[in-house]
Amino acid sequence: MVQFFKNLVKNKVMLFMVLPGAIWFFFFSYLPLVGTIVAFKQYRFSREGFWASIAKSEWVGWKNFKFLFTTDDAFIITRNTLLYNIAFIFLGLVLSVAMAILLSELVSKRMAKIYQTGMFLPYFLSWVIVGYFAFSFLSLDRGMLNQILGWFGAEPIQWYSEAKYWPYILILVNLWKAVGYSSVVYLASIMGIDKSLYEAAMIDGASKWQQIRSITIPMLSPIIIIMTLLAVGRIFYADFGLFYQVPRDSGTLYSVTNVIDTYVYRGLKTTGEIGMSTAAGLYQSVVGFVLVMVSNFVVRKIDKDSALF
């Protein structure tokens, strides 16, 4: 015990340094963990505050979960979250690696820099702004797409109430926002590949295409695998902004735009089903945790340095 206090005193400067951050983690990460027990309660808001609200809510056991999984919602939000993320990971990977290789092959490095800067723009914009951009194309009476349809004599489409188009729209918008950034990241590692490899290949008469297939892609594969596995670890988490802002919270589209995160949010702000939404959130955290652990384990096996922990 005395030793413990001696150690505390000896490390006092360092302890003082971690203290503010540690307090932050306590309030913004660890206390909410305690709050997840609401998932097992019939939540009743109490004016006396956080603890009173939790304490005064009645225990209901697994009822919130049972209820959640007997509705269609659980299936729909899980399916949407997973399928969209799989599409984003796969298409995003193919497009951004292709674009990175393409940029690296351009003769004029100045042009490559200019294109890069253009492609990077969407990364810096918020989903609110992107939502407006999408609206300028999809608006029923004024949007560009319906005007183009008009030139061909086609009927205008009510984009914001026709669910069948939204999987494509959401995938397109997400790729538009993400591909530029990740291709610049892949490009950075292509630039790091030893030039003498290409010289040796050229002396052996390898064509450009053969060089890409046998040098560039194999050299990129560690970072490709790691980025992909890290994304797989987050496959149970959806990008709230994309699914909330771009479809403008349109109710008729929920069957294809509702993901776990938007479901939880609506439970909090619209429907008021606090217990069930917390249950959905906890379900996401638990499955998400398992996936992060598994993918991190796989990353560790491949390349210890790139693991998250």
Partner 1 sequence: MAEVIKRKRDFHNVSRGWNVVLNIIAGLFAFLCVFPFLFVVIISLTDEKTLARDGYRLLPAKWSLEAYRFVFQTGDMLLRSYGVTILVTLLGTLISLMLISVYAYAISRKSFRYRRFFSVYAILTMLFNGGMIPTYMVVSQLLGLKDTIWALVLPLAVNAFYIMILRTFYSTSVPDAIIESGRIDGAGDFYIFLKIVLPLSLPGLATIGLFSTLGYWNDWFNALLYIENPNLVPLQSMLMRIESSIQFIQQNSQNSSLSMTALQSIPQDTSRMAMVVLATLPIIFAYPFFQRYFVQGLTVGAVKE
**Interacting residues with partner 1 between 176 and 235 (CB under 8 A):** 176, 179-181, 184-185, 188-189, 198, 202, 207-209, 223, 226-227
List Cα–Cα distances, 282 to 131, 210, 295, 303, in angstroms. Answer: 29, 49, 20, 31
CA distance 11 to 13: 6
Interacting span for partner 1 (CB under 8 A) from 62-70, 124-132, 161-169, 213-221: 124-132
CB of 66 to partner 1, least distance (A): 19
Q: Residue 208 carries which side chain, given as an amino acid letter?
A: K
Under the binding rule (CB under 8 A), the answer on residue 30 touching partner 1 is yes
**CB-based contact 279:201 (threshold 8 Å):** no
Interacting span for partner 1 (CB under 8 A) from 67-75, 213-221, 251-259, 279-287: 279-287
**CB-based contact 259:80 (threshold 8 Å):** yes
Under the binding rule (CB under 8 A), the answer on residue 86 touching partner 1 is no
Under the binding rule (CB under 8 A), the answer on residue 168 touching partner 1 is no
CA distance 119 to 106: 15
Under the binding rule (CB under 8 A), the answer on residue 251 touching partner 1 is no
CB of 193 to partner 1, least distance (A): 13
Q: Residue 237 carries which side chain, given as an amino acid letter?
A: Y
Positive or negative CA dihedral for 161, 165, 171, 174? negative
Question: Which of 55, 56, 66, 117 touches partner 1 (CB under 8 A)?
Answer: 117
State which of positions 253-272 bind partner 1 (CB under 8 A): 261, 264-265, 267-269
Positive or negative CA dihedral for 188, 88, 259, 278? negative
Task: With CB under 8 A as the rule, give the number of residues binding partner 1.
Answer: 109
